[in-house]
Structure 1
Amino acid sequence: MAVAGDRTRVTRVNILLLELRANRNLLALHHSATLSHDELGQFPWEDQNHTDAKESLLQAARKAPIAAIGFRIQCNKWAILVRLLLGEIPERSIFTHKGMDKALKPYFELTNAVRIGDLELFRTVQEKFSDTFAQDRTHNLIVRLRHNVIRTRLRNISISYSRISLPDVAKKLRLNSENPVADAESIVAKAIRDGAIDATIDHKNGYMVSKETGDIYSTNEPQTAFNSRIAFCLNMHNEAVRALRFPPNTHNQKESDEKRTERKQQEEELAKHMAEEDDDDF
């Protein structure tokens, strides 16, 4: 009973440490989001902080007790936002876990808006669940997702059109600003500079000219994706091995077939000897 109690305490301490580590990353992420963001989504991008926060949150949610549904829901909410900020789209199965689907519905609709790059739908979801996001203290991070929505939409436009005018780009991006064409040109220029799209701007005629899409399998992108997934699986395996608990003196309980046979023979001889002594007494 004492050993079981110690194990329970160790498990609780591990979960608490994971929670504290996740919260520390979340506070840094929340602080960064609160400090600076503007209408076009120009904000300092810190991939390392986002990646660390994602790993801590996923690990905390995975190691949390099944009964701690509230803690797991909160971890998933933050993990979804961090993955969206990193340009990832969370799997649909995350939103359908038993006991979580209702609480994660606002974040499912938010993910859908980011996935298809619909800025109008994104605004609608923001307004519809504004109270929920304010209560979860995730509103500032969601504001930053506007940048990802625009990037996704712009990437789809560059794939669909070999050449398109900047006014049409502004119309398709649904920019509701005082000078949408100038904003669209600025957004396209920044996306080209960051490598989000492969295109050029014809400033004289006011066009965005997309380059032909090459064979993605001739690049390092598949290798990078596989490497990321393999690293995740190896890390999960190592964490599982480190989390294993073994009963004390397990190594002493193993015996070879020869020793087991010898022990049984000794027990049989002892039982036979005791039986003979009992017969002699009679």
Structure 2
Amino acid sequence: MLNFYLNDQLIKLLLVSELKEIASLIETGAYAKEVRRIVRAVRRTVGIRRQLTASVVSSFVSFALGSGSEAYSRLSSYLHKEDDHDMDVDTATSAVQTPNKHPVPEVEIYCYLLVLIFLIDQKRYDEAKACSSASIARLKNINRRTVDILASRLYFYYSYSYELTNNLAEIRGDLLALHRMATLRRDELGQETLLNLLLRNYLHYNLYDQAEKLRSKAPRFEAHSNQQFCRYLFYLGKIRTIQLEYTDAKESLLQAARKAPVAAQGFRIQCNKWAIIVRLLLGEIPERTVFMQKGMKKALTPYFELTNAVRIGDLELFKSVADKFSSTFSSDRTQNLIVRLRHNVIRTGLRNISISYSRISLSDIAKKLRLDSPNPVADAESIVAKAIRDGAIDATIDHANGWMISKETGDVYSTNEPQFAFNTRIVFCLNMHNEAVKALRFPPNSHKEKESDEKRRERQQQEQEIAKHMAEEDDDDF
């Protein structure tokens, strides 16, 4: 029992020591104006967040802010200490050894972020909401580019805490004000993060028109964060899907799934779900490998069965699958899109019928499609006529006899379809190549360093020539 207690205390001491190193890294980055150090500090925090306890966070906040500061008194009210007397002793010792009475703003904002993450992990959402509001109020008074990384994380958890308490609508005005402030301060990472949070806020309440208006009028710039860019592509794909722009939606969703990190499995699953629906609405059938990706097979099973029903063109099977997984589709917010698929199922079944039969009566078509309307023959006739007009099938209608007469299928290579498919693949490869070139990373200010070296050589050469000329003049004087 004593060994367990000592091991527990040792772990807590190590965590406090790690947090102190992170604070030192942030302080060094703030003084040197090196954002990469602060990025590294945030990454190290993510690695230890699951091991944090109230006593560890309280000890670090006391060390970083000082027990008499206003920020410490505000943050300590959210931390209910456990019966860890040894940690109190360690806190007091640390405060005596290295007091930090005037921390840099970056360290103070980091303390807000650390407490907020801890409260969310402990599922104390109401306290997390209060803490996030206090952190945003403090953040509005700080205008430093080295704070932008920490500010973007605070914006995310600010919105996330309100989302967990089902109060997202309350902060929409605040998010718009923060986005305007970030734009005036030229905080592009903050603009990127806040734009995604606003889009998420609008889409949460199905306000797709407002989301599109905001997206179209927001400032455009090169993406600074791959994660934020993936989120933006996902939201853009959802907006395009609702607006019936399926081709653009498909490209955005597939690109978001491809660019997303491997660890973001839940995000990639959502991207694939929406991409599958969009491809079905376009008349495409996704490959089986899409549903067999590692870690996604179980989550994509409803969509696999739905795709199978659409591929076969069986309207009865489609209805049974939609009813069977209705709860899943509702939670994924794809229920309305699946309603749109009914027409695609009928069209696919009609295409299979036109290939199988050179001539078939409209009543038989209605039976094979399982149309459950009061006048199935008239509905079948209108469906066939629309499919012929849209070019889905190559056939004619004999209204006198009530037949659909299919034309013989010609050689597909005599049409422009192979050329169109080949051109689509070329465009995809060229776009991927251009994105890879844009994503190349070079050392910061490498071109400036090269120019400075060249200028230095020119200056040294000029100085040597001037010195030589002066020496010659001295020789002439003598």
Give the whole-Å Cα distance in 2 for the aligned partners of 1:249 and 1:242: 16
- Do structure 1's residue 116 and structure 2's residue 328 form an aligned pair? no
**Offset, 1:6:** 5.6
**CA deviation string 1:52-111 (max 9, x = no partner):** 111111111111111111111101100111111111111111111111111111001111
Give the secondary-structure state (helix, strand or coil) at the position aligned to 2:397: strand
Q: Tell me the amino acid that sits aligned with residue 322 of structure 2.
A: Q
What is the letter of the counterpart of residue 357 of structure 2? Y
Alignment partner, residue 208 of structure 1? 404
Is the CA contact (8 Å cut-off) linking 2:236 and 2:252 kept in structure 1? no
How far apart, CA to CA, are the structure 2 residues paired with 1:143 and 1:182?
22
Matches within 5 A, 1:250-269: none
**Structure 1 counterpart of 2:231, one-letter code:** E
Q: Which amino acid in 1 is paired with 2:383?
A: I
- Cα drift, residue 230 of structure 1: 1.6
Q: 1:206 to 1:164 in 2, by over 3 A?
A: same
Whether the 8 Å contact between 2:240 and 2:249 is mirrored in structure 1 is no
**Structure 1 match to 2:231:** 19
Q: Structure 1 residues 237, 202: closer, same or farther in 2, change over 3 A?
A: same
In structure 2, the CA distance between the partners of 1:12 and 1:119, relative to structure 1 (3 Å rule), is farther
Whole-Å separation in 2 of the counterparts to 1:177 and 1:157:
20
Deviations 1:166-216 (A, max 9, x none): 000111111111111110000000000111111000001000001111111
Amino acid at match of 2:241: L
Partner of 1:104: 300
With 224-233 and 178-187 compared, the bigger mean Cα shift is at 224-233
Structure whose CA Rg is larger: 2
Name the residue aligned to 1:228.
424
Alpha-carbon distance, 1:248 to partner:
4.1
| Letter in structure 1 aligned against 2:238 | L
* Residue matched to 1:152: 348
Distance in 2 between residues matched to 1:55 and 1:134, nearest whole Å = 24
Tell me which amino acid in the other structure corresponds to 2:329.
F
Could you list the structure 1 runs, at least 4 aligned residues long, displaced by more than 6 angstroms after superposition.
7-12, 249-253
**What SS class does the counterpart of residue 421 from structure 2 fall into?**
helix
Q: Which residue of 2 aligns with 1:173?
A: 369
Counterparts in 2 of 1:54-203, with a 5 A limit? 54-203=250-399
Query: Does the 8 Å contact 1:201/1:207 carry over to 2?
Result: yes
Opposite residue 431 of structure 2, the aligned amino acid is N
Q: CA, structure 1 residues 5+174, in 2 after alignment: closer, same or farther (shift >3 Å)?
A: farther
Match of 1:27, SS state, is helix
Aligned partner of 1:272 in structure 2 is: none
* Contact 1:18-1:56 within 8 A present in 2 as well: no
Quote the offset at 1:116 in angstroms. 1.4
Distance in 2, matches of 1:245 and 1:98, equals: 30
The aligned amino acid for 1:164 is I
1:249 CA drift (Å) = 7.0
Shift in Å, 1:13:
2.3
Q: Distance in 2 between matches of 1:195 and 1:99?
A: 39
Distance in 2 separating the partners of 1:116 and 1:163: 20
Q: Which runs of 5+ in 1 are unaligned?
A: 33-45, 254-282
Shift of 1:5: 5.7
Q: How big is each residue's C-alpha offset from its partner over 1:8-43, in whole Å with a ceiling of 9 and x where there is no partner?
A: 86887232133224313413533x4xxxxxxxxxxx
Structure 2 segments unaligned to the other structure (5+ residues): 1-33, 44-148, 150-188, 190-222, 451-478
Inter-CA distance 5–225: structure 2 relative to 1 (3 Å threshold): farther
| Contact 2:230/2:260 (<8 A) preserved | no
Alpha carbons of 1:4 and 1:125: their partners in 2 closer, same or farther (altered >3 Å)?
farther
Distance 1:243 1:53 in 2: 23
Q: Which residue of 1 aligns with 2:56?
A: none
Equivalent-residue separation in structure 1 for 2:341 and 2:37 (angstroms): 45
- Cα distance in 1 for residues equivalent to 2:331 and 2:224: 27
Alignment CA distance shift 1:105-1:55 (3 Å): same
- C-alpha RMSD of matched pairs (Å): 2.2
Aligned residues: 237
SS at match of 1:133: helix
Work out whether residues 15 and 60 of structure 1, in 8 Å CA contact, stay in contact via their aligned partners in 2.
Answer: no
Q: For 1:145-181, what per-residue CA distance to the aligned partner results, in whole angstroms no more than 9, with x for missing partners?
A: 1111111111111111110000001111111111111
> C-alpha distance in 2, partners of 1:238/1:4?
30
Aligned counterpart, 1:37:
none
- Letter matched to residue 97 of structure 1: Q
Q: CA 1:167–1:14 in structure 2 vs 1: closer, same or farther (change >3 Å)?
A: same
- State the identity %: 73
CA distance in 1: counterparts of 2:328 and 2:224, whole angstroms:
29
The structure-2 alpha-carbon separation of the partners of 1:98 and 1:12, relative to structure 1 and needing over 3 Å to count, comes to farther
TM-score of the aligned structures, taking structure 1 as reference length: 0.78
TM-score of the superposition, structure 2-length normalised? 0.47
Aligned position for 2:433: 237
CA contact (8 A) 2:254 2:275 kept: yes
2: distance between equivalents of 1:61 and 1:107? 16
